[in-house]
Structure 1
Amino acid sequence: MKETKAINFQERSAVKSNNKNQISKTLMNLFIDDLEDIYWVEKCLVQTLPKIYDDATDLKLKCAIKKHLERTLEQVKRLDVIFESLKIKVKVKKCKPIDLLINDSDINLKTIKSGAVKDASIIAVSQKIKHYEIASYGILAAFAKSLKQNSALELLLLNLEVQKKSNAILTAIADDNLNLQAALENLD
């Protein structure tokens, strides 16, 4: 398979051709661009999750964060395999929406004193990031299927399922009295 050069969105949009091969190359470029985006997200989480773990106070949440870090490391490995199979050198591309969420979270964690409210904030930001990851992996899986990148598709679907399970765990922790505890802390 030929190595594909990633192009930016404007360049992709400028390509107008009815040639089926040209359309496939354009979709491949979009696929690679989105892979680089989610790769940055996962690598960023590898660095961020230990800090979030330290800020969390709820034991179930701390356990979920620790397991999430382990799963994130596995997701990065799967993405590395995809890049290798495509014979593409990874170009790290900052994901601005996730960067903003993490920066806002840092500010919140510095200003929130109480345990349950801080934990609720951690879950809220984590779920926003999860939803971004779920959407990204779903889109990438659809692209991989269209491009007949079956080995990539299998790995992307695995990452997608991990994200969905992680989101469900966070929801369960929040629903299991954590949000209620946070609400009651504010009444004191």
Structure 2
Amino acid sequence: MKTAKSKTTKTINEADQEKLTELFVDGLKDIYWAEKHLAKALPKMAKAATSEELKAAFEAHTTETEEHAARLEEIFGLIGEKAQAKKCAAMEGLLEESDEITKSTDKGTMVRDCGLIMAAQKVEHYEIASYGTLRNIARTLGHEDVAAILQTTLDEEGETDHKLTDLAESYVNEEAGQE
């Protein structure tokens, strides 16, 4: 039985490697745009949040998101590419949805916090999917150093998602249901 590791060490032909590399670079550009724009959106989400814990979570994730963008810049350098962003329609839509939640909920309510957590978790799940896929492609292309960096970010995105779930389950959702 083959292990996942042995699958990633298969030799792919040059033409296929070129196509996969192009897809990989395109994916990096996409998530780079996403991280840059998320870093601008998170302070707005923090300002809109009601609970101090959610504000603090958004503020902490702003710093982490800036680190994620810096890691992507490092990755571009490691693969010999210029750090360049490509508009990410998915993140643009998710951030628009977050803005809409803020506009459609009352200030100072846990219903707003519940909505902001929902919007933030959608963002986290998009990032988790992106970083996981990019990590796997990096391994296929033989970029184990890049895969390790992507794994670090993937782990942090998962931790953020869990923190948001903990906030929702510890009191936000219940209080939102009582408003």
Secondary structure of the structure 1 residue equivalent to 2:50: coil
**Contact persistence 2:110–2:173 (CA under 8 A):** yes
CA distance in 1, matches of 2:48, 2:80: 39
How many percent of aligned residue pairs carry the same amino acid?
A: 35
- Other structure's SS at 1:102 match: helix
Cα distance in 1 for partners of 2:167, 2:66 equals 22
Letter of the aligned partner of 1:165 in structure 2? Answer: E
1:90 to partner: Cα distance: 2.5
Choose from 17, 29, 33 the match for 2:22: 29
**Which of 107, 118, 124 does residue 118 from structure 2 map onto?**
124
Deviates more, 1:35-44 or 1:94-103: 94-103
CA contact (8 A) 2:32 2:84 kept: no
Q: What amino acid sits opposite 1:170 in the alignment?
A: L
Distance in 2, matches of 1:167 and 1:57, equals 19
Q: CA deviation at 1:162?
A: 0.3
Aligned pair partner of 2:135 in 131, 141, 144: 141
SS in 2 for 1:87: coil
Q: Secondary structure at the match of 2:178?
A: helix
The 10-residue stretch of structure 1 (107-116 or 128-137) with the greater mean CA deviation from structure 2: 107-116
Offset at residue 133 of structure 1 (A) = 0.4
Distance in 2 between residues matched to 1:90 and 1:70, nearest whole Å? 19
Amino acid across the alignment from 1:38? I
* Length-normalised TM-score, structure 2: 0.90
| Alpha-carbon distance in 2 for matches of 1:55, 1:21 | 50
How far did 1:151 drift? 1.5
Structure 1 gaps of 5+ residues are 1-18
